[in-house]
Amino acid sequence: MDVPYTIRLARPDEFEALREIENAAAALFAGTPYAAAVEGDATTAADFAEAQASGHLWVAAGANDAPVGFAFVEIHAGCAHLDELDVHPDHGRRGVGAALLDAVCDWARAAGYPAVTLTTYRDVAWNAPFYSRRGFEVLPHDAQHAAQRALVATEARRGLRPEDRFFMCKRLAAAES
């Protein structure tokens, strides 16, 4: 990751900035079949607050410690589940997303979670390939826990079509003492 970015836990006063990052990142989907679904799928202030209060919301901070990206995790089926990772396009392709993903995986490993899971689009060039290069593999439907299948159903109610998405999983080695 290029300097001067740092990864740290988010603060409550940053939720509006995170919403702006999310909206800017969603604009990258313009021209894809998913533009409308992504645009309408904004994280609520309550979701940010819950993730921040539980220590599951990280930011990538740039100049003046201002957020330029974020990642937040929920716990499902005994695994850390990356619910969202967004980087403002003005700071894209500088390793910010990879650094956020590494921070989540390092935290999950240290916390004793066996894996990090996520859902992503099957055919968006910057989604699944990004995660694959970082050790995530597609988790077939028959290998998914009931709680993971329930997440897909929840996404479907939010307008994210299951046939366009899949589960990915990165198995984590136990943290060394």
- Convert the pLDDT of each residue in 13-47 to its tens digit: 999 999 999 999 999 988 888 887 787 678 999 99
Look at the block and give the residue holding tokens 């995530």.
136
> Residue 81: enclosing H or E segment and its boundaries?
strand 79-87
In-domain check, residue 113: yes
Sheet containing strand 79-87, edge to edge, reads: 6-9, 57-61, 67-76, 79-87, 115-121, 165-171, 137-138
Domain with 31, as residue range(s), is 6-171
- The verdict on residue 145 lying in a domain is yes
pLDDT of residue 71: 98
pTM: 0.91
Can the peptide bond before residue 4 be classed as cis, meaning omega within 30 degrees of 0?
yes
Is the pLDDT confidence value at 88 over 90?
A: yes
Looking at the domain assignment, is residue 31 inside a domain? yes
pLDDT at residue 177 greater than cutoff 60: no
Residue 85 located in a structural domain: yes
Residue 134 pLDDT greater than 70, yes or no: yes
The number of distinct structural domains making up the chain is 1
Q: Examine residue 177 and state whether it is found in any structural domain, yes or no.
A: no
Vertex 106: Cα angle to 103 and 112 (nearest 5): 140
Q: How far apart are CA 165 and CA 38, in angstroms?
A: 13
Look at residue 1 and tell me if it is in a domain.
no
Q: What is the CATH number of the domain that holds 162?
A: 3.40.630.30
